[in-house]
């Protein structure tokens, strides 16, 4: 994804076996054991219209349009 994702962004996952559309509710980095810090890969939590939360890799998401 070219643009940075922020809380409140509407996004969708369109590739793969299923589709998922919702609003970004959190952007965070995973814990990295090697450096003992939050410097691991970035992850994005998206909530859909049914209240389901799903964690994605940012590269899986696009802004609809």
Quote the mean pLDDT of the chain. 94
Give the residue extent of every domain in the chain. Answer: 10-60
Terminus-to-terminus CA distance in the chain, angstroms? 13
Residue 2 has pLDDT above 60, yes or no: no
Question: How large is the average pLDDT for residues 52-65?
Answer: 95
pLDDT score recorded for residue 65: 82
The SS3 of residue 44 is strand
- Other Cβ atoms less than 10 A from the Cβ of 36: the count is 8
Model confidence, pTM: 0.89
pLDDT category of residue 34 using cuts at 50, 70 and 90: very high
**36-44 contacts, C-beta under 8 A, 24 or more apart:** 44/5, 44/11
């Amino acid at each position: 994804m070219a643009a940075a994702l922020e809380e409140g962004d509407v996004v969708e996952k369109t590739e793969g076996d299923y589709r998922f559309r919702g609003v970004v509710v959190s952007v965070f980095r995973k814990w990295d054991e090697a450096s003992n810090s939050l410097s691991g890969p970035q992850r994005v939590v998206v909530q859909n219209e049914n209240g389901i939360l799903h964690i994605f890799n940012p590269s899986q998401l696009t802004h609809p349009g």
